[in-house]
Structure 1
Amino acid sequence: MGELDATVHARLASIVGDTNVLTAAAETEPYLVDWRGSFRGRARAVVRPGNTAEVAAVVRFCADVGTPVVPQGGNTGLCGGATPDATGDEIVLALGRMNRVRDIDPANATITVEAGMPLATVQEHAAAAGLYFPLSLASEGSCTIGGNLSTNAGGTAVLRFGNARDLTLGLEIVLADGRVWNGLRGLRKDNTGYDLKQLFIGAEGTLGIATAAVLKLFPVPRTQVTALVALASVNAAVALLGRLQSALSDRLTGFELVSGVALALSRKLDPALPAPMPGHAWYV
């Protein structure tokens, strides 16, 4: 494993503080393995910046000395995208300290947050302002907005509100050489130039590191109805989706397909789960 020499450690510590440069095995372990334990890597250090200037300074320094950087949010991904490789030469840049609300604009229905804020916390701040942030997924208590944007997360409300890119008005990005691109605009009707933010959303940190975002908020839904339907085939599910969209238009928020095999496996892992309408091949 590549060790962090004293000079490099001192330089990183001068940027983020000594307590935010982790090198001990017990401290770095949670950052080196993915949520399922399927991917495991090594790193020279885990660096935890507290603001955009610190991210930029760390990235600039790593670029100068040729050290690869792996950005990491809540580390809830299942594909190894936030896990360092096995060489031990990389630095993990963990953004969890960057978890502040920079602005809430109820009149424009927007919220500006830093990339390390958990998704559930964004939802809570929106609710406190009497508004609604619709992105929702199973890991929302620990996944972060930066990770959501880097993967263009979908969640359960895509049919009505779209993916993460559809919920984003502006971004702040640290580029690979440490320069900061400030695209934190909350303008909704913006037809100027290239929409550069869309290049970074879904790029998984390969083009730059998101440090903040302006997100769209919506009125709180007045009512919500959830139904479970058992079906014989995927074709039947597609037909049902078409009928519901014709009847409900954009009021249809989610339509999740679950196989009978997946439901049976879930009940095997957790026997307390209810089993309404057992024995069917598909459910929505």
Structure 2
Amino acid sequence: MLTPVTDAFSADLRARLPAACFRDLTPAYLEEPRGRYRGQGGLLLAPGTVEEVAEIVRACAAARVGVVPYGGGTGLVGGQVMESGPAPVIVTLERMRAIRAVYPAENVLVAEAGAILAEVQAAAEGAGRLFPLSLASEGSARIGGVLATNAGGVNVLRYGNARDLCLGLEAVLPDGSVLHGLKRLRKDNTGYDLRHLLIGAEGTLGIITAAALKLVPPPARTGAALLAVTDPRAALDLLALAQGRIGEGVSAFELIHRQGFDFLAETLPEIRLPWPDPPEWCVLIDLGLGAGQDPGAALEGLFAEAAGAGLVSDGLIAQSEAQRAAFWALRESLPLANRRIGAISSHDISVPLSAIPEFIATAGPALAGLGRFRINCFGHVGDGNLHYNVFPLKGETRADHEDKRAAIKRCVHDLVHALGGSVSAEHGVGRLKVEDLERYGDPARLAAMRAIKAALDPAGIMNPGVLLRAPA
């Protein structure tokens, strides 16, 4: 049974930690971006070293006080806010943001968990390298949270998820011991890989304090195009065509529905849209090629062959890096426009690539049985990850449909599960999707997860209620 933070517990920690570790608990640490959940906390701590993190966790383990790790606060499934239960300690890694080392010849960078993703990208660029993980929230998301949730982003097609870009971890385990795993090795077959156990665990098995990250040489030349496709099936055929012609030079392949452009026009009129009358579906394709290769010519050749096959009807090829950036600004503005409209229910889902057209064709009519909605479907179609979000009609608000929210989510997730997909593609489970994991998860896998949690965190102090239901 967990206990809340008490005055005596706080006094004990003040005697053991420097004054700089203590922060005022402001509302910012108790909120999440969608505004659906409000957390609680008894104490906010900002350690500056791994030893201070360990001291905090040891104290919490001894007193059976819950610990909620806090990264950049950008998570969308409530993993950073604890609504109920005994008031926990919130641990923010914002003071631990150093780039400890860069090894350009090894293509490795070592960063502390509080480093912001954009800072890591800049440090890699300063060494003539690229850290290819890219998210809409990269200006505020922190490396510890990115790894704890195994974040994806737009370049998963070519470079993989956060898990694929991490060589080693330093972390504090639930008993306060420190895992010294910052190895820069590509091969290390010495038993259980605790790095992969902690990545994606969402802070339930420990607090990541630093990571050895993979870098890659930056592409010599880049290019991008917005291509209007006839339907999602044509988008998949275009992806196969692009990969056959260009190979691994295809870095990202994003599907965008017309509703996304309509939302941009409605909420962000200052953004210039690429077409006065946007197509029903389009894709944003991004290339990164070697020296001597011409992205513009590659995209022109792709468009010509795709048009001949009836896959595309129109297209815009970036003529400069500024135009490429403008294309990506459109794509990265879609979540902001969504938030301004206010979704009734948002879904971060993945299905096998070949099932994407069936899912899109089936989900709309299934939801029509629950009411009239606007649907904005977009996402990383190259890796099967769609953001399938349901909105009220113009003139209505999400509050008008709150009574339908659970049924909408169930409808979408049932279909995803039936197609062999996942109800959490890249945002994690957090506290929001615990019931979904119980409903759709494999029983053997869930039993193994519970056994791992019990073995490493027998007191249940680490991010209680995330991934697995907290004991009553």
Whether TM-score is above 0.5 comes out as yes
Question: Is 1:200 aligned to residue 198 of structure 2?
Answer: yes
Root mean square deviation, CA, Å: 1.6
Alignment match, 1:38? 36
Gaps of 5+ in 1: none
Deviations 1:219-270 (A, max 9, x none): 1211110111112311111111111111111111001111211221122110
Inter-partner Cα distance in structure 2 for 1:253 and 1:14: 51
Task: Give the 3 Å change call, closer, same or farther, for CA 137–84 of structure 1 in structure 2.
Answer: same
Q: 1:201-220 residue pairs with structure 2 within 5 A?
A: 201-220=199-218
Partner-residue secondary structure (3-state), 1:254:
strand
Question: Is 1:282 aligned to residue 313 of structure 2?
Answer: no
Inter-partner Cα distance in structure 1 for 2:82 and 2:100: 30
User: Does structure 2 conserve the Cα–Cα contact (< 8 Å) formed by 1:112 and 1:215?
Assistant: yes
Alignment match, 2:336? none
Match of 2:238 among 229, 237, 240: 240
Task: Give the 3 Å change call, closer, same or farther, for CA 191–87 of structure 1 in structure 2.
Answer: closer
User: Does structure 1 conserve the Cα–Cα contact (< 8 Å) formed by 2:67 and 2:88?
Assistant: yes
Radius of gyration: which is bigger?
A: 2
Alignment match, 2:8? 7
Q: 1:43-82 residue pairs with structure 2 within 5 A?
A: 43-82=41-80
Task: Give the 3 Å change call, closer, same or farther, for CA 280–20 of structure 1 in structure 2.
Answer: same
More displaced 10-residue stretch of structure 1: 87-96 or 235-244: 87-96
Deviations 1:142-167 (A, max 9, x none): 10000110111111111111110110
User: Does structure 2 conserve the Cα–Cα contact (< 8 Å) formed by 1:41 and 1:88?
Assistant: no
Question: Is 1:226 aligned to residue 227 of structure 2?
Answer: no
Alignment match, 1:18? 19
Inter-partner Cα distance in structure 2 for 1:14 and 1:30: 27
User: Does structure 2 conserve the Cα–Cα contact (< 8 Å) formed by 1:16 and 1:48?
Assistant: no
More displaced 10-residue stretch of structure 1: 194-203 or 68-77: 194-203
Q: 1:92-111 residue pairs with structure 2 within 5 A?
A: 92-111=90-109
Q: How many angstroms does 1:4 deviate by?
A: 4.6
Match of 1:144 among 142, 145, 164: 142
User: Does structure 1 conserve the Cα–Cα contact (< 8 Å) formed by 2:5 and 2:86?
Assistant: no
Would you say how many aligned residue pairs link Structure 1 and Structure 2? 280
Inter-partner Cα distance in structure 1 for 2:236 and 2:124: 33
Partner-residue secondary structure (3-state), 2:236:
helix
Partner-residue secondary structure (3-state), 1:192:
coil
Where is the helix percentage greater, Structure 1 or Structure 2?
2
Deviations 1:39-94 (A, max 9, x none): 11111011111111111110110011011101010101111111122335111111
User: Does structure 2 conserve the Cα–Cα contact (< 8 Å) formed by 1:12 and 1:21?
Assistant: no
User: Given residue 49 of structure 1, which amino acid in structure 2 is its aligned partner?
Assistant: P
Inter-partner Cα distance in structure 2 for 1:207 and 1:5: 24
Partner-residue secondary structure (3-state), 1:122:
helix
- Normalising by structure 2, report the TM-score: 0.57
Q: How many angstroms does 1:18 deviate by?
A: 3.0
Inter-partner Cα distance in structure 2 for 1:126 and 1:279: 37
Q: How many angstroms does 1:215 deviate by?
A: 0.3
Task: Give the 3 Å change call, closer, same or farther, for CA 4–209 of structure 1 in structure 2.
Answer: closer
Partner-residue secondary structure (3-state), 1:258:
strand
User: Given residue 249 of structure 1, which amino acid in structure 2 is its aligned partner?
Assistant: G
Q: How many angstroms does 1:19 deviate by?
A: 4.4
Question: Is 1:124 aligned to residue 122 of structure 2?
Answer: yes
Task: Give the 3 Å change call, closer, same or farther, for CA 15–85 of structure 1 in structure 2.
Answer: farther
User: Given residue 211 of structure 2, which amino acid in structure 1 is its aligned partner?
Assistant: A
Deviations 1:134-188 (A, max 9, x none): 1111111110000110111111111111110110000111111111111111011
Gaps of 5+ in 2: 284-472
Q: How many angstroms does 1:3 deviate by?
A: 7.4
User: Given residue 17 of structure 1, which amino acid in structure 2 is its aligned partner?
Assistant: P
Inter-partner Cα distance in structure 1 for 2:17 and 2:221: 46
More displaced 10-residue stretch of structure 1: 207-216 or 192-201: 192-201
Inter-partner Cα distance in structure 2 for 1:103 and 1:163: 22
Deviations 1:187-214 (A, max 9, x none): 1133332222111111111111111000
Inter-partner Cα distance in structure 2 for 1:39 and 1:213: 30
User: Does structure 2 conserve the Cα–Cα contact (< 8 Å) formed by 1:9 and 1:21?
Assistant: no
Alignment match, 2:380? none
User: Does structure 1 conserve the Cα–Cα contact (< 8 Å) formed by 2:4 and 2:65?
Assistant: no
User: Does structure 1 conserve the Cα–Cα contact (< 8 Å) formed by 2:30 and 2:40?
Assistant: yes
Inter-partner Cα distance in structure 2 for 1:205 and 1:230: 41
Q: How many angstroms does 1:104 deviate by?
A: 1.1
- Normalising by structure 1, report the TM-score: 0.94
Partner-residue secondary structure (3-state), 2:235:
helix
